[in-house]
A and B are shown apart, each in its own frame.
Chain A
Amino acid sequence: MRSGPPATLLAWACAGASPPSGLGMRGGARPSGTGSASEREAPGLTGAARRVGARTGGGRGVVGPRRPAMGLLSDPVRRRALARLVLRLNAPLCVLSYVAGIAWFLALAFPPLTQRTYMSENAMGSTMVEEQFAGGDRARNFARDFAAHRRKSGALPVAWLERTMRSVGLEVYTQSFSRKLPFPDETHERYLVSGTNVYGILRGPRAASTESLVLTVPCSSDSTNSQAVGLLLALAAHFRGQIYWAKDIIFLVTDHDLLGTEAWLEAYHDVNVTGIQSSPLQGRAGAIQAAVALELSSDVITSLDVTVEGLNGQLPNLDLLNLFQTFCQKGGLLCTLQGKLQPQDWTSLDGPLQSLQTLLLMVLRQASGRPHGPHGLFLRYRVEALTLRGINSFRQYKYDLVAVGKALEGMFRKLNHLLERLHQSFFFYLLPALSRFVSIGLYMPAAGFLLLVLGLKALELWMRLHEAGAGPDEARGVPGPSLAAPPVQGVGLTSLVAPLLISQAMGLALYVLPVLGQHVAAQHFPVAEAEAVVLTLLAIYAAGLALPHNTHRVVSTQAPDRGWMALKLVALVYLALQLGCIALTNFSLGFLLAATMVPAAALAEPHGPRPLYAALLVLTSPAATLLGSLFLWRELQEVPLSLAEGWQLFLAALAQGVLEHYSYGALLFPLLALGLYPCWLLFWNVLFWK
């Protein structure tokens, strides 16, 4: 009965805990040592043990003395069989698990896994609202005046906005802010940003400013959004004449689109997350319950597109989307999600295939972790929010501002009924269509299957490492601690420290250096700061591949196989942990990274067709995933990219990713630079282990 060690390992692995890395080798080997020790100590113990045994009248199981404590809990023989099965069938199991994960994900677009959405919040579900907004002309006049004033002053016409908001009866305040971006933003053409937000508060007569709702319109130099401002003012005028408001309503016009929103939100909550300088707010209206952002670019629209994906993949409560959808249906508005119409026919294959496209688009958007509209920034403060965009395409039926205004009026009136914050419905979901959703319980298995591959692979390595150490022992079936212990103890930390440290240092350099060294780079090379940042980023990224991979030779003299196996084991566990955590908070990102990184991570080893593995690894590195996602994204939107365009977009996306980390606190860049890139480098290390 010498099957203790493998059974122990399996017990650890099954419990979900990571096997203790590096040192684990010793832990794995210990049972044989401790077994003999306890044998030696046994005579001293026996008296007491026997007396206990006598008193309790004897237990059921009679256990041999060399068995470690863990082995008591289950039958070691059966576990050893299972371990052997895992070892022998590892490759097919991994393939099966991976295929199952991908298939499960693709199946999410099909009806048994997608459910119809339903309103969970009672306060919004059963009440009837009659929309009375009829200020279409007024909205157009406001929009025209706003556009004229904007053109005249060349900036947000703050004084005009203040005057107009006051004339419709709001309490008006302004907030000025300024922000120096870490490097010039070439997409939006801004670097030193200073602007002024204007907001008016409609005080609800029934309450004491404890709760509020927000209607916000982002304005910036490239998208004037004047129709949205016109509609906001017309709605404010209409809302002001009503007596039923139980919550205050804040009408917010932000300058420099999201930067203004971020400045306002930080000032409203009196925090400073991103280091923006702004004047304190003079007027507040309690806890914000929900927010709607509006972007319109023409007087008539053909459809209304709704965006839910927020900063770091946060989503608003599903009830808010349900509310929007209710009013789309009621007003007969054409509403789209990800720019895609809702499939009508779910019985044939077309519907699900179309919804699969929508689902993939949502996954790509959510994975990017960008705030896809001003609503994305509200979500950090636990304010449920979404962005509505008016689309004017070449369809025949058009809706004027009244139709949009009525939908907004209905939404605000229902939100006004809310007694509690939106909390009844889902916070984690995927949307294959506007009226269908996949809940967290149904989509998580897809990520789970993918991560299982890493687990299986790690298990296999662990057992192979043990066998390599205790192989003879296992084969002969007699105790032989002297054979196993000494070489095993040598593996451990020393040979792993160098690759781990080097790759983490690379990650740190990738995170810190581009922004820190932009001026140096711009001085010495003929590039602008923004380009310098992106190029430094790529240079450091590529330099990581060329690092010395033989540091272990210096510090360790053990069997070479054990070295890379230990390193790969650590890397696999590290990757699995990271992906698991990411998938819990932002499923899309976790799944996307798992789907690309897992196969290469599982395959990487210094034997076999090395160039093939290397190519696969490079193709599935985080940066390549980003590039691929861009192509997939445009493909799904039916605007395919050429290679050159794709590369330009890729460079722009890198710059945007870094900028968004600094200006809004998006976590994708640090996550990739400090977490996944070093982890990926470990696999690269494994591949070139000599």
Chain B
Amino acid sequence: MAAAMPLALLVLLLLGPGGWSQAEPPRDTLREELVITPLPSGDVAATFQFRTRWDSELQRERASHYRLFPKALGQLIAKYSLRELHLSFTQGFWRTRYWGSPFLQAPSDTDHYFLRYAVLPREVVCTENLTPWKKLLPCSSKAGLSVLLKADRLFHTSYHSQAVHIRPICRNARCTRVSWELRQTLSVVFDAFVTGQGKKEWSLFRMFSRTLTEPCPLASESRVYVDITSYNQNNEPLEVSPPPTTTYQDVILGSRKTYAVYDLLDTALINSSRSLNLQLKWKRPPESEAPPVPFLHAQRYVSGYGLQKGELSTLLYNTHPYRAFPVLLLDTVPWYLRLYVHTLTITSKGKENKPSYIHYQPAQDRLQPHLLEMLIQLPASSVTKVSIQFERALLKWTEYTPDPNHGFYVSPSVLSALVPSVVAGTPVDWEESPLFSTLFPVSDGSSYFVRLYTEPLLVSLPTPDFSMPYNVICLTCTVVAVCYGSFYNLLTRTFHIEEPSTGGLAKRLANLIRRVRGVPPL
């Protein structure tokens, strides 16, 4: 679900009281699949999905016997009464403008009362995150689609995102009984330019340096889908080998798609050559023109220069020729950027655009970031600019990171929208349709749901010169010593009026007596 986060860790935790009725004897299934999609830019996206479903009331039964469902997660659910969990690690950035809308499904049916949301834009994702993720799979990386998950290839990509989603699924209409679903997804985008030496051809071997040899024996479904939709009407530009046994058509992300389907459980498929190495060739070399632009994409940047003030600007592009649609924009900004809310301006086509809903929660220093949520209507074929000014705060000197001159990250803003479809789809029953449709956003026919993440920002804050403390100490000590010395001198000195010595011993004596009596001296 973390569609577009760079090096990000995203946690959506829904904690709440458990409480469902008695369940049947546990029954679990594993379904795995791989969707390969050539992107408009010529790159290739591969999305794996492993879905383990367990008909067990984990929170009630305290299950002790685990088969396919990983015990570590099962115990987590049982112990903390977890309602829902989404965790994703992403490296790279989903370039919506060039790659189209992201394929990952947004969490639906969320109950926002117990929502926790966090993003760590600085976190690095690497092999050590992949290995434990792979261990959650029943076949690990021994058989089935997971043999393709070779770390050195997966991390040589333009985009890498791995995620774990846990949620309960109702088993009947009234939701009296639930099953637990664990969905592990991994999507990568291979840079066709680098891996294909400039040619936009690919094969499983070229991408993963592995081929498929056998299905996972524990899986009840194991399929590979290849997007062979022809964008031009006249002829099919690409060719897949081996030729698919079946094809599947559906409306995905608002447009009609055709998929070649390879079922690994179909023994004929692998037996013929002992391994399955899918290949795709372009019949005509794809022209290097600007790819089609998706209806909704966004860009975010910091404007201004200098270390005092700045402006956060988000550009929201609606490229639909005649339909306007609303977008929900969620921004969390760290407290050390002090937002000036009165400078919030939203303009579309040169006119002010009044959001129909604004929720703002101000930051508290060192405790809580700013939260800004707005519902904005994007006019057809327009660019909407949302900008807000900020001032860069000075941190305490121990609060700076070890590399303060690198800058400080501002997490991406989240855009959620119902984007109009090109082709009206028919609402489908998810359980009946191929599993991969869960990868794609909800479609109600006339529009589809999209959640986008903008790029994270790097903002420099004013930093002290950390090599200076010695000089500063010397300087301040000198200043303090000089000032202190003279002020002390001034304050402790007494001021007498020195009078010419008149009068002799008698007067002094008289004065002494007067002083003893408390009478002013002569």
Contacts and interface: CB of A to CB of B under 8 A. Distances in A.
Interface in B395-432: 403-407, 409
A223 interface: no
B309 to A, nearest CB: 11
A56 B494 contact: yes
Contact of B457 (A59, A203, A210): A210
B305 A271 contact: yes
A286 B458 contact: yes
Given A59-B492, A166-B288, A211 B92 contact: no
A287 B460 contact: yes
Nearest to B313: A270
A240 B405 contact: no
A64 B498 CA distance: 7
A171 interface: yes
A421 B460 contact: yes
Contact of A269 (B299, B305, B406): B305
A419 B122 CA distance: 12
Contacts of B407: 210, 287, 421
Given A49-B496, A73-B486, A241-B194, A207 B7 contact: yes
A17 to B, nearest CB: 16
* Most central of B301, B313, B495 by chain A CB within 10 Å: B495
Contacts of A210: 6, 407, 409, 455-458
A380 B307 CA distance: 12
B475 to A, nearest CB: 14
B458 A52 contact: no
Interface string B85-98: 00000011101001
* Most central of A206, A240, A280 by chain B CB within 10 Å: A206
A169 B497 CA distance: 90
B305 A208 contact: no
Interface string B300-332: 011111100001010100000000000000000
B391 to A, nearest CB: 16
Contact of A42 (B6, B156, B497): B497
Interface residues on B, range: 35 or more
B317 to A, nearest CB: 9
A243 interface: yes
A608 interface: no
A270 B303 contact: yes
Contacts of B313: 270
A269 B304 CA distance: 5
B457 A419 contact: no
A72 to B, nearest CB: 6
Contacts of B159: 205
Contacts of B378: none
B6 A420 contact: no
A37 to B, nearest CB: 15
Contacts of A72: 489-490, 493
A648 B333 CA distance: 56
Given A42-B497, A47-B520, A208-B6, A287 B302 contact: yes
B407 to A, nearest CB: 6
A289 B457 CA distance: 14
B438 interface: no
B157 interface: yes
Nearest to A167: B288
A287 B490 contact: no
A268 to B, nearest CB: 8
A209 B194 contact: no
* Most central of B198, B290, B406 by chain A CB within 10 Å: B406
A57 to B, nearest CB: 8
A53 B409 contact: no
Contacts of B406: 419-421
A203 B95 contact: yes
B5 interface: yes
A62 B496 contact: yes
Contacts of A46: 497
A172 B97 CA distance: 12
A188 interface: no
B303 A269 contact: yes
Contacts of B191: 205
Nearest to A383: B305
A72 B489 CA distance: 9
Interface string B79-112: 0000000000001110100100000000000000
A516 B500 CA distance: 73
B248 interface: no
A563 B492 CA distance: 43
Contacts of B458: 210-211, 286-287
B258 interface: no
Contacts of A283: 299
B92 A208 contact: yes
Interface in A586-641: none
A436 B267 CA distance: 74
A61 interface: yes
B494 A270 contact: no
8 contacts: A49-B496, A49-B497, A206-B91, A208-B93, A284-B301, A382-B305, A382-B460, A419-B403
Interface of B: 5-7, 91-93, 95, 98, 121, 156-159, 191, 193-194, 197-198, 288-290, 299, 301-306, 311, 313, 315, 403-407, 409, 455-460, 486, 489-490, 492-498, 520
Nearest 9 interchain pairs by C-beta? A208-B6, A270-B303, A53-B494, A59-B493, A420-B405, A208-B93, A210-B458, A169-B193, A59-B494
Given A62-B496, A287-B459, 18 more contacts: A42-B497, A46-B497, A53-B495, A63-B495, A72-B493, A73-B490, A166-B288, A203-B158, A205-B92, A206-B92, A209-B455, A243-B194, A270-B301, A271-B304, A286-B457, A382-B460, A420-B406, A421-B405
